[in-house]
Amino acid sequence: MAPSRLSDIADIVLPTTKSTSATDTVTTRSDTPASSVGSRTFGRSIMNTSLIESKFLSHPEDLGVVAVGFSGGQCKPGVDAAPSALIEAGLLTQIRDELGYNLHGHDTVHLYTDLVPKQDPDYRNMKNPRAVSAVTKKIADQVYNQAKEGRLVLTLGGDHSIAIGTIGGSAKAIRERLGREIAVIWVDAHADINTPETSGSGNIHGMPVSFLTGLAKEDKEDIFGWIKDENRISVKKIVYIGLRDVDPGEKRILRENGIKAFSMFDIDRHGIGRVMEMALGHIGSDTPIHLSFDVDALDPMWAPSTGTPVRGGLTLREGDYICECVHQTGSLVAVDLVEVNPSLAPAEDIGAHETVRAGCSLVRCALGESLL
């Protein structure tokens, strides 16, 4: 396997490292200075191998990487370690050496501990609202600084609350650069469209779509008041794939707003090929696409090490196919991979390893890896 530590693919000497493995190290940052965001090229390749012509990227050979070690949108520790695990598995090296991307961004895993307040009481039923708001605002800036350069952006999470930042940042950049709205393909077992009032848990990783669509709003600047129209998406431009664990309040929201959603029932009935045809047909061929993939969309057989596994999900091949189809549109502008949690499998169990491998496969397929 290719080398997996960030310093092996970097053009610079990293000043500090934190050991995360008995055999390797990954650089982490607790601080997130604005001046450093998007400021480095840390892996160059000779040629991008994708045969698909990009419709909306001025530099399709470039990939902006944002590694988000954040777990505050839910209550299970360990998902913040996912970016390091994915990188240690060789993902970035594979993207550079096998797929031919030039890697840009910050060659560190951001922990954002400097943004987490000492006191963060519940507000409107939301847990950790100020921390999640501050971190997602920073992530929005990080993604925006990559996307505005006309390059594809890959974000490695982290729990799915980070999509408030990733999608908010790419939506703003595409509006400024191209004057267009983005569409979002949300691959997940869960709809994540609860409002603070409909949520049973108060965990914000179950609410990002409501904030991104404006179905949930808050005026307080330190509690998502920073989200403006330029960061938002239309309910008509979001498509769900893989749903099978949807709260009653979310079902009502989906129906009342006419949101396009394909559950596992639809995939069983039509097959993943036909579902992708319908999903992409709904979006249209003239709209930039942000793909946000929660690994729990896969059946636990393929991705057991995740915070909220639900049986009856996608096979790994179906997940890869979704990513391959989105790449082949030429409309892809951003990719999120979230909710890999290496700590949830026992040390002697292969579940964490298999989940990380599945995550790497999904990303590579989204970035153009093909079977032939």
Q: Give 117-131 as a DSSP string.
A: -S----BTTBSSHHH
Q: How far apart are CA 295 and CA 261, in angstroms?
A: 18
* Residue in 120, 188, 318, 320 annotated catalytic: 188
Instruction: Please check whether residue 104 is in contact with residue 59, taking contact to mean a CB–CB distance below 8 angstroms.
Output: no
Neighbouring residues of 337: CB distance < 8 A, sequence distance ≥ 6: 86, 154, 155, 156, 157, 293, 295, 359, 362, 363
* Residue in 104, 110, 160, 290 annotated catalytic: 160
Please name the helix (run of DSSP H) or strand (run of DSSP E) that holds residue 93, with its range, or none.
helix 91-97
* Residue in 80, 120, 141, 339 annotated catalytic: 339
Is 229 labeled as catalytic in the residue annotation?
no
Q: Is 158 exposed, middle or buried (0-12, 13-18, 19+ CB in 10 A)?
A: buried
Is 107 labeled as catalytic in the residue annotation?
no
Is 122 labeled as catalytic in the residue annotation?
no
Is 339 labeled as catalytic in the residue annotation?
yes
- 3-state DSSP assignment of residue 307: coil
Is 192 labeled as catalytic in the residue annotation?
yes
Is 296 labeled as catalytic in the residue annotation?
yes
Q: Which residue has the tokens 């995939």?
A: 267
* Residue in 61, 88, 294, 299 annotated catalytic: 294
Q: How far apart are CA 69 and CA 67, in angstroms?
A: 7
Q: Which two tokens stand for residue 65?
A: 């990487």
* Residue in 61, 192, 245, 318 annotated catalytic: 192
Q: Which two tokens stand for residue 269?
A: 């009935």
* Residue in 106, 110, 205, 327 annotated catalytic: 205
Is 290 labeled as catalytic in the residue annotation?
no
* Residue in 296, 324, 336, 369 annotated catalytic: 296
Determine what percent of the chain falls in helix, strand and coil, rounding each to the nearest 5.
Answer: 40, 15, 45
Q: How far apart are CA 128 and CA 122, in angstroms?
A: 6
* Residue in 104, 106, 190, 290 annotated catalytic: 190
Instruction: Please check whether residue 98 is in contact with residue 49, taking contact to mean a CB–CB distance below 8 angstroms.
Output: yes
For 349, phi and psi rounded to 5 degrees? -90, 150
Is 205 labeled as catalytic in the residue annotation?
yes
**Residues annotated as part of the active site:** 160, 188, 190, 192, 205, 294, 296, 339
